[in-house]
Amino acid sequence: MTCKVCPGSQPVKWIKDGNEIRQSENCQMYNEDAHYKLKLRNTITSDNGQYVVQVGQLSRKLHLRIIGIPDD
């Protein structure tokens, strides 16, 4: 998931189902200039849900639905 913000904007927050997302082995957050990215690795069905990117009082929502996970 990606978003682009204006230079000098407030910090970007990624939120899932109402809880702020924390960086982990399977959830990477990074930015390049004004482009912010959230990358989910090794997804599982519990990763389904509503994701929000929030910058100050502004936000955008999306719903992630995982429909299948390939076999190993």
In the prediction, which pLDDT does 69 show? Answer: 67
In the prediction, which pLDDT does 71 show? Answer: 67
What is the 3-class SS of 25-60, one letter each residue?
Answer: CCEEEEEECCEEEEEECCCCHHHCEEEEEEECCEEE
Q: State pTM to two decimals.
A: 0.81
Tens-binned pLDDT, residue by residue, of the chain (72 aa): 999 998 888 999 999 989 999 999 999 999 988 999 999 998 888 999 999 999 999 999 999 998 876 665
In the prediction, which pLDDT does 21 show? Answer: 96
CA distance 17 to 46: 11
CATH of 2-64, one of 3.40.190.10, 2.60.40.10, 3.20.20.210, 3.40.50.300: 2.60.40.10
